[in-house]
Structure 1
Amino acid sequence: MLAIPAVPDVPDVPDGARPRWSVMIPVHDCAGYLALALPEVLAQLGDRDDAEVVVVDDASTDDPGAVVARLGQGRVQYRPNPGHLGAIGTFNRCLTLAQGELVHLLHGDDTVLPGFYPATEAALADPAAVAAVCRVRDVDADGGPLHTTRSYRHGTGVWCDALESLALSNRVRAPGVVVRRSAYEAVGGFRTDLPHAADWDMWTRLAAHGPVVFVDEVLACYRRHAASDTSTRVRSGANVRERVTVVGVVLGYLPPARRAPLARRAYAYAAVFAARTALQQVRAGRLPGAARQLREALRCLALIPRGLPRPP
């Protein structure tokens, strides 16, 4: 049985009172990064009466509430969780709390760049579009550039092969995704049984539900740092093992005839991903992590001849 929680409808509000934007910022022990993220969000939306900005705190020990009080200009709500819910539980609480038509989940250690909200709002002018996705720059703990995600089409427009592309690999970064709240209500929340790949599953589910618009501009930054959950899973190889599990889930959103050939490609992508990660680990001097990534790459290669997704 799928562990997909429902996203409740927004209660009825008076005409014109429902915000256009909900910027939901889940945080856990990243108050310093939150202080970097809030000013740009407010620079773009702070003068609008139709935008809400909400910091949802998952039992942080570094007082993000003080950051909100200092930098929020009276425009930012601070909503602590009722105890420690974990990342996915916090994401789902963000969806429940969001009142706006367009929802942006901006993780507390990520940032938006100038022009993000105007560009994604324009991309979602067609009410049929369920989400907008922009290019994102990966940065290190200090904000130094590491990598920039690809252009999946030239110029802004509907990403025609979004479903198959996302079924192969998680090609987008969370800070670059804006979703219509009605789409979240239709497809449900983040899966609680995929704690490290619930975002990949969500983006694929949304692409199966309706058109995704690709914004061909770099408008957000995704932060990679040693304290992040991603770094911990790289050291153990869990990042690749869950990737294989998720392939078996997301390919279920495609027509049956497409699943086997795409599964072979997805396992090949997973092997390449693991090998590249191993090389990054070697360059960083993390040899045990590199060895684990290479071992997972070999396991992915062994799955390719079968051409069938492993059951979740």
Structure 2
Amino acid sequence: NPCAVVIRRSTHEHLGCYDPGNTYTPDWELYKRIASFYDWWYEGDILARYREHDNNMTSELILSGAQATSIRLGIEISESYLPAEHCAAITAKARNHYFNYCLNHMVIPLKTGNLAGAFRLLQEALKIDPSPQAVEKLFTWLTQAEAAPLRDEIASKLRSIMLNHSSESFYFAYP
């Protein structure tokens, strides 16, 4: 992400500002919106620097798995203004890319023992890309040693559902 961006007032007046409800990707969504209507200028030289630290909003969102919700919403919002002839292809690529992003980042909450955050990230990843190919990638990822705590949690939840024979069980699939 660029650390400094200059946007004309007329652009904000035409397209709006950052979405205050989007806690993780408000800049990304705004930049996509602007790029759909205007040209951009990129200055490759380093003009400003900023420090990174672990005690920031981004780190909290990553540990809780909440960043994926904002990513999914950013993808869904952009569908409304992308050119119709490219929308499906761009959206499919974004969904695939960010599903993989979620898989790669799932290890972060797992390393801190935050199963709830990892589970939330997994759920959002499947909302981002529910395709059979994505589910296959997820199953492959779950076989890795680093995924063991999450794999065990999923197995425990499935056993609990099966033992309770509740309406949330898999029995609905059988007549």
Root mean square deviation, CA, Å: 2.9
Using the TM superposition, give the Cα deviation of residue 249 of structure 1 relative to its aligned residue in structure 2, in angstroms: 0.3
**What is the deviation of 1:304?**
7.5
- Secondary structure, counterpart of 1:221 in structure 2: coil
Structure 2's unaligned 5+ residue stretches are 134-175
Distance in 1 (CA, whole Å) between partners of 2:27 and 2:69 is 16
Alignment partner, residue 114 of structure 2 = 288
Aligned-partner Cα distance in 1 for 2:43–2:87: 28
2:31 alignment counterpart = 203
For residue 269 of structure 1, the aligned residue among 92, 97, 101 is 97
| In structure 2, C-alpha distance between the alignment counterparts of 1:298 and 1:197, rounded to whole Å | 15
Q: Does 1:190 align with 2:18?
A: yes
Match of 1:186, SS state, is helix
Alignment partner of 1:179: what SS? coil
Larger proportion of helix = 2
Q: Which amino acid aligns with 2:118?
A: A
* Residue in structure 2 matched with residue 180 of structure 1 by the alignment: 8
Tell me the percent identity.
Answer: 21
Aligned residue for 1:216, secondary structure, equals coil
1:258 pairs with 2:86:
yes
User: Structure 1, unaligned stretches of length 5 or more?
Assistant: 1-171, 306-312
Corresponding residue of 1:218: 46
Q: Aligned partners of 2:83, 2:66: CA distance in 1, in Å? A: 28
Pairing 1:278–2:106 present = yes
Aligned mate of 2:130, from 302, 309, 312: 302
Aligned to 2:68: 240
User: Could you tell me how far 1:184 is from its partner in structure 2?
Assistant: 2.1
Shift of 1:243: 0.6
- 1:251 shift after superposition: 2.5
Write the distance in 2 (CA, Å) between the matches of 1:242 and 1:303: 20
What displacement does 1:181 show? 2.6
Does structure 2 retain, via aligned residues, the 8 Å contact 1:205–1:253? yes
TM-score, normalization: structure 1?
0.37
| TM-score, structure 2 normalization | 0.61
Secondary structure in 1 matching 2:7: strand
* Number of matched pairs: 132
Following superposition, the deviation at residue 231 of structure 1 comes to 1.4
Counterpart residue type for residue 113 of structure 2: L
